[in-house]
Homo-oligomer: A and B are copies of this chain.
Amino acid sequence: MHLSDDQLQAFDKDGYLFFPGKFSPEEAALLRAEADTVYALEREEVWRESSGAARTAFAAHTYNDAFARLGAHPRLIEPVMQILGGPVYIHQFKVNAKAAFDGEVWQWHQDYGTWKRDDDMPEPRAMNIAVFLDEVTAANGPLLLLPGSHKHGVLEAGHDLETTSYPLWTLARETVSELAERGGCIAPTGPPGSMLIFSSLLVHASPPNISPFGRTIVYLSLCHVDNHIRAFNRSEWIAHRDFTPIEPLEDDCLSQGAGGPRRAAE
């Protein structure tokens, strides 16, 4: 998995890269089943909507073997190492369920805004890489991105403690409108297994899911090891404190079966 010069230029300009169907249907199905396993756990890392439906499982790579493998998958780790120019660690690992009918809104925000303010991460040398475990369509609450919005540094934000179950530093409407006037507003949609890389400064949101179909996405937030967080204000399973560089596994690490041995790449 090596990004081309054109891809690197597109990432620099737009702040994201989208790879429909990057993981096979079988790989996506395996992870989708493991998501249900994780959501059924009564753990403090598994957060729920007011309806009781699972919203986010944090740190699933620390208590589920399949997600542990995904957390070292070369299709995720290598392009991010390439963009960030060096070894990375997992700052945050989320399996986000946007439940059918009940999935709530995420207001407009930048992830690095939170990582800076809450965790004292020195620089935005960190980014997100996501894998769709369900098909993401216009109907089931797709992620919305403002292309080019990562070019403006950390934008002023207010701490929203009320809209949803999760506190978030959210942006003013005027800011969102200005950025969208310049670069538009897009929603990457695609089959299970699609992969999305986006800058930690990219402004994004997602609407409620009123459709009858769930929409599960795994998000890895990867950070250059030199840029690790300095403040430990949040639980260690929300903002990790293990800054050991990830050694990418082999490309077939998922299809080796969730119960098999974990092999380090040579």
Contact = CB atoms under 8 A, between A and B. Distances in A.
A245 interface: no
B173 A207 contact: no
Interface of A: 100-101, 105, 107-108, 137-142, 144, 173, 176-177, 179-181, 185-187, 189, 205, 207-213
The DSSP consensus for interface residues of chain A is loop
Contacts of A142: 138-139
Nearest to A106: B210
* Most chain B CB within a 10 A radius of its CB, from A101, A108, A185: A185
Nearest to A210: B207
Nearest to A179: B212
A143 to B, nearest CB: 10
Contact of A139 (B100, B185, B210, B211): B185
A144 B211 contact: yes
A253 to B, nearest CB: 32
A186 B139 contact: yes
Contact of A138 (B107, B180, B189, B208): B189
A180 B212 contact: yes
A208 B105 contact: yes
